Structure formats: structure tokens, C-alpha cells
Structure 1
């Protein structure tokens, strides 16, 4: 955001130096002490040659430089009353640095905001009034113009910096949230289902296995609570969220699928079996590998829900459709359906199968997951992924 302002200030200083030199050469013989004026203009030109690039970036424009630059401008304004004639000063002739002095004030405004702008413009205003010997109308006009414009620019810079910081924090929070959701999906698809299976099998076997199943059930509940409550922890600072995102990226992440197109049908065909039917086009249905893998994982999560909630005798059908602008997969079962309000209750309990493993994946791909369920008539999940989508888009 600041770089264009610093470049503009560099151009302003160079152009206004040329203007000040042109005024000096045009009025050289009218000065009361031409050599003294020439000495200052030479020093000003040398100062510019040595420091022209100091205002090209905030790192180069230090506080010490701004103080020195402002001193050069103030010295030139006050020296004008010594080297110029009283008639020219009373007639409103420009000071030696002329409008170049405004560059020093603008540098303070861009570097330190409106407070620094007030200090710099007030010092320049005082020097101009001292040079004229009083508040002449044109001097007051110029002083107010520099003061108001520099303060306004300083305020705009502060607002822009605050907006930039807010945007950066929002992006950090979004990145951390997305990473937490991705890990929660992986946990749900793997660890939680293994713990649930151990709990069921342990209870069926009895004895020591039952105790192991009980412990697995307790860990499943604890982990579900952690997953549900850890998506966006309250009272966490943006810096903590950014650190969390960096940590999550560095540990426990699954390898990314290879780049390039991938046949979605080839990923979904292994689900077909005695209780699951698969139908799709006779030609490959291509998606970017990352998007295809996420879509296949969402289909797997939908089939897991069928196996867990629709009963042992339920059947499921997978339909793959290849549309010009999207790939659509429909998963339908003939189970008892989902009671109204059950999904919201499951999400509150930390059971994120639909919220994260299905809808979360499709949302990250820029797609959608529509669920239609009528009690007693089964459930249908339609997964739609637009062409050209990938993870994180």
C-alpha cells in the first residue's frame, strides 16, 4: 500500500527541486545577496543528489533523515529573509526552497501519520511567517494549504495501514480455520471411525475387550469434543491462530495428491459391491487430482453414513455425471432417512460427518453438497464440483 506513496514523494522532490532552481535562475540578479542564495541552492542540489532515493521506501526513510530533510527546508526558508530584498519578500516572492519544502512535510506524514504531519507542517508554517515578518494573506493561504493537505494524507495513511493489518489478521484466521477443518475431516474419516469400531467390537466380545472398547468410546467422545470446539477457539489472538496454522502445516499433514487430471470414475469404482451400485459415463471423467481426491473422500464419508445409520440391509447407489461446467456425484440409499433436526443436533454433539467430511470438503473446492432426506424414504446427497477447482480455491 505504501510503496506508490513513497515513489510519488520521490518524484515530487525531484520535480520541485527543478522548479526551485528555475525560479532561482530567473530571479538571480534580483536577490540582495546572490552568492548567498546560490550557495544554498547548490547545497540543496547536493543534498538531493545524495538523498534522492531515501524516500523510495519506508525502510530507507528513517526518522533521522526526516529531521535532517526538514532542517534543510527550514534553513532555506529562514535564509531567504537574509539573501533576498525586503521589496521582493513584501511582494510575495517565493522562498529559496519554494514548494520543495512541502516534500519534507509529506515525508513526515507518510512515515508517521497525521501527528508527525502536524509537527512538520507547523514548523514550516512558523518559518514562513518568520520569513515574511507577519501573517500576510498569501502566506497564511499557503501555510493552511500545506497544513491541511499533509494532515489529511497522514490520516489516510494511518487508516490504510489499519485496514491492511485487519485484512492480514482476517487472512490468518481464515487460513488457520481452514487448516483446522481439514484436519478435523481427516480425524473424522480415520481415527474417530476406528475408535467407534473398537468400541462396538469390544462390547460384543466382552471381557478385557469390553474394557478396551469402553476406553475407546471415552477417547472418541473426548476427541469429538476437541474437534467440535477447536475449529475456532474463543479468545484466541490472531497471532496464536497464525502460529497454530503454521504448526498444523508442519506436522501430521497427509501428502498432497499428484498434480494433473485424474479420472473420478476410477476413484469411485472400488466402492461398488454387493450393497453399493456404481454408474457413470463410459469415458473418463477428469478433474484436477486434488479436487478428485477430495470428492472421492466426500463420497466415502457419505457411504460411511449409510453403513452406520441406514442399517445392515440398506443399499446405496452412486451416480457420476460429467457436465460441461461441473462434475456431479449423487449418493442415494434406501434407508430410513434422517429425522428433521438430526444433523444440527449431531453437529452440536461433535459428530461432524456431514458438516466437515462432506460439506466442508465441497466448500473448499468451490462446490456444494445438497442433502435431501425424507423419513422412511432414504437419503440423497448431491455433490457438485465446478471444473478447474482445486484444494484451497
Structure 2
């Protein structure tokens, strides 16, 4: 993420500046017990600054963050050995100086304000312990730096988290804008081709009459639905949009000389929109039967229901689906099964199972959960009337 990467670059700059400050303090200090060891610790700090600056720019793991705190603690705890046991109680700044803020900022940016505050508390307690000459009994030890360190970890962590959330929202808004532009582009292409063809079929069908009139009517319905989809508007709600619809009654409309529909004797109530989607998926399955098995092919539709789910099975005795044919059809852009059946049912939170044996037919099982508690007997009785 671009903004987060800027945080890590800022931490790297802070580490380098703090390292220079610690080296300057050591160079200007006098009377240290072991100044040579102090320069060795400065070298370790420089090496670790280089390692973390490169590592945090590419990979940021919790293991690296924990090592960052441990290395900083090790350098901090070396201060009494380098400066002498009396330097801490005398108020002399540890050898690390402000360099100990590096892991605090790293934890804050990576995991938020709580992690930053915890890292700051750990390092602050160690600093106070050193200034108290190995104990916490000296309550006169100044703790202003420790308070500032904890506040820095919490504030930077909070700002970093808010910045990440803002960047994610901006990314989503950008994607939505791109999707809107793509919708407009597709809408122009659809308007110039598909919608005009549907309008022509509707007009010519009504002019010819007979069976062509029915074809024209269907083309007109599809033209209206497609225009609503292109505009990005939901279909107009019918009178039963917010009520319940008997799925069994809708399925029985598919019954014909070649299609046998079996439903329970009692109604199968579902929210109207979900019921229409289930019935549309069944219609798509029956369309596949006619397309691949012939107009005279026999098909059977079986509907079952309980308080938790509705299951509809469409079975035929056609040639079956060869292995891998559905994947090939989807790759070729033929999305009858992928979208009209599986897509619809998946949109309702259901699942589709397809069992096909070459030469023995195909069985499509669609299972859709019923939201909320199961319908009561009163609702079933109302639908039955």
C-alpha cells in the first residue's frame, strides 16, 4: 500500500537521525567507563538500522518486529556497562538516546495503537529501571520521556490505522468508479446492438402475428429488463415483492406433455424475490434440456421443502454432459449453467449439484436456504386459499 510504505520510509529516516544523535552524544560525552564498547554498540545500532530499513521496506513479519524490540533492549541494557553505574541515577541519557523509539513506531504502524503502546511501555520500563540504578525505588526519576514514548506509540498507531482505512475506502471508490465507466461503455455497445435487435424482433413479431407475436412479446419483456440492468436500476417491485410466494405453484406452470412437475401437497412459501430466482434457475435448466436433448425430451421436476431449505431437482434422460464440458462452455462465454443456474442459486446463499452420466441423463439439484424461522401453519393456510 502506498501510504503505509510512506510510514515505513519515515521510520527509516527517524532511525537514521536518532542514530546520528546517539553518535553525537557519545562523541561529546566525557568520563564514560568504556567508550570503546560504546562505539561498538553504535556500530550494532547502525547495522540494525540498515537491516530494518531494508527489511521493513519489503517484508514486515511479527518475528522481525519482536527481534527489533529485543535488539533495542540489548543495546539499551548495555548503557550501565558503558557509562558506569552512576550515570543512570545522575540523569545521563542511555547510549541509545532516542533510537529506542524505532521499534515503537514500527509496532504502531504495523499493528495499531495498542501494539505501539505496549512496545513503548516495555522499553520505557527498562529505561526507568536503568535510571533508577537497577530498581524502581527512586521515584524522583524523570518519566517525561517515557510518557512521550507511550503517547507517540498510541497516536502514531491510531493515525496509521485511520490512514490505512482511508486508503482502502479510496481504493474501493476508485474500483466502483472504474466499474461505472465500464458499465457505461457496455451500455453503449448493448444499446447499439442487442437492444435494437430485441426491439426489431418485438416490432416484427407483432406485425406478423400468430406464434411470432408471442416471440415479439417475449423479446419486448427482455428488452425492458435489459434496459433496467443497463441503467443499473433494480427491477420494478411487484405486488408480492415483500410478501411470500408459493414456489410450488410457480413450478407447476412448467408442467407439460414432456415435463412432469411434482410438488408437495402443501404450499412452499418463500419471499417473492427468492422464489422468482429459484423458478428462473429451474427454467434455465429446462431450457438446457430442450437445447441439448431436443424439444420432445422428457424432464422431471421435483420440489421438496422443510423449515430450513427448499430443494428442487431437474432430471432428464438425455445423452448427459461429457466430462469437462461445463468448464469449456464457461471459458467460451456460454454461461447458461454458470450464471443462470449456479449464479442465481449462489446469490441466494444456496448450492447446486450436477450429476451427469453419459448416455443416462443429467440431474441438477438446487438447494436454497429459507431465511428466518420456518413459515407457520397460518401462512401456509393463507397461501393454500
Q: TM-score, structure 1 length as denominator?
A: 0.53
In structure 2, the partner of 1:274 is none
Q: CA deviation at 1:156?
A: 0.7
How many Å separate the matches in 2 of 1:188 and 1:66?
Answer: 56
CA separation in 1, counterparts of 2:94 and 2:233? 61
Alpha-carbon distance between aligned partners in 1 of 2:97 and 2:196, rounded to the nearest angstrom? 77
Change (3 A) 1:198 1:129: same
1:148–1:231 Cα change, 3 Å: farther
Structure-2 separation of matches of 1:30 and 1:139? 22
1:284-323 superposed matches below 5 A:
none
Deviation at 1:231, TM superposition (A): 4.7
Give the equivalent residue in structure 2 for 1:72: 71
Decide whether aligned partners of structure 1 residues 137 and 185 sit closer, same or farther in structure 2, where only a CA change above 3 A counts.
Answer: farther
1:168 matched residue in structure 2 = 171
Hey, what's the Cα distance between the residues in 1 that align with 2:198 and 2:49? 72
Instruction: Name the counterpart of 1:90.
Output: 89
Residue 153 of structure 1 aligns with which residue?
156
1:18 — aligned with what?
20
Answer yes or no: is the 8 Å Cα contact 1:32–1:83 preserved in 2: yes
Distance 1:190 1:79 in 2: 78
- 2:196 is equivalent to residue 215 of structure 1: no
Q: CA deviation at 1:35?
A: 4.4
SS in 2 for 1:88: coil
Between stretches 173-182 and 33-42, larger displacement belongs to 33-42
Q: 1:31 aligns to what SS in structure 2?
A: coil
* Structure 1 pair 184–214 and aligned structure 2 pair: CA distance change class (3 A): farther
The structure showing larger relative contact order (alpha-carbon pairs under 8 Å, at least 6 residues apart) is 1
Provide Cα deviations, 1:316-344, integer angstroms capped at 9, x if missing partner: xxxxxxxxxxxxxxxxxxxxxxxxxxxxx
Number of aligned residue pairs: give it: 231
How far apart, in 2, do the equivalents of 1:200 and 1:226 lie? 17
For normalisation by structure 2, the TM-score amounts to 0.54
Q: Alignment RMSD, CA only?
A: 2.8
Question: CA–CA distance in 2 between the matches of 1:82 and 1:105?
Answer: 24
**In structure 1, how many angstroms separate the alpha carbons of the residues matched to 2:34 and 2:117?**
33
- For 1:78 and 1:230, the matched residues in 2 are separated by 68
1:98-113 correspondence runs (5 A): 98-113=97-112
Counterparts of 1:92 and 1:136, CA distance in 2: 13
Contact 1:177 1:232 (8 Å CA) reproduced: no
C-alpha change, 1:228 and 1:124, in structure 2 (3 Å) is same
1:46 and 2:47 are equivalent in the alignment: yes
Q: Does structure 2 retain, via aligned residues, the 8 Å contact 1:198–1:213?
A: no
Structure 1 pair 116–251 and aligned structure 2 pair: CA distance change class (3 A): farther
Counterpart-to-counterpart distance in 2, 1:165 and 1:199: 46
Q: 1: distance between equivalents of 2:47 and 2:119?
A: 22
Counterpart Cα distance in 2 of 1:233 and 1:164? 29
Which consecutive unaligned segments of at least 5 residues does structure 1 have? 235-249, 253-393
For residue 80 of structure 1, report the CA deviation from its aligned partner.
1.6
User: What pairs up with 1:271-282 in 2 under 5 angstroms?
Assistant: none
Give the unaligned 5+ runs of structure 2: 235-331, 335-385
- Structure 1 CA distance, aligned partners of 2:15 and 2:139? 26
Structure 2 CA distance for partners of 1:231 and 1:78, relative to 1, 3 Å: farther
